[in-house]
Amino acid sequence: MKQDIKKWNKMQHKSMIKYQENQRKKNLELQRKGLLFPKAAYDEMKRLGMLEKKPRKKRKQKTEKQKNIERLDKEWSLEVRKGCKCELCGRKGSIGSFDAHHIKKRSNMATRWYIPNGVCLCNGCHRFKVHIDTFTVAELIFRLQKKRGQDWYPELVKRANSIFKPQQVDFDEILKGLLELQNK
CB under 8 Å to 112, separation ≥6 — which residues? 72, 73, 76, 102, 106
The domain spans of the chain are 2-48, 69-183
C-alpha closest to that of 126 among 159, 79, 91, 153: 91
Position 76 scores a pLDDT of 93
At 10, the pLDDT band (50, 70, 90 cuts) reads: low
Instruction: Give residue-wise pLDDT tens across range 72-107.
Output: 999 999 999 988 899 888 899 888 889 999 999 999
Once rounded to an integer, what is the mean pLDDT over residues 4-17? Answer: 66
Amino acid 34: pLDDT: 66
Query: Residue 166 — pLDDT band, cuts 50, 70, 90?
Result: confident
CA triple 12-18-20, angle to 5 deg: 105
Question: What's the mean pLDDT in 52-66?
Answer: 81
Q: Is the whole-model pTM more than 0.75?
A: no
> What type of residue sits at position 85?
K
| Integer Cα distance of 183 and 85 in angstroms | 19
Assign 11 to helix, strand or coil: helix
- Least Cα distance to 99 among 87, 111, 107 occurs for 87
Identify the pLDDT of residue 156.
Answer: 92
Q: What pLDDT score does 157 carry?
A: 92
For 98, phi then psi, to 5°, come to -125, 155
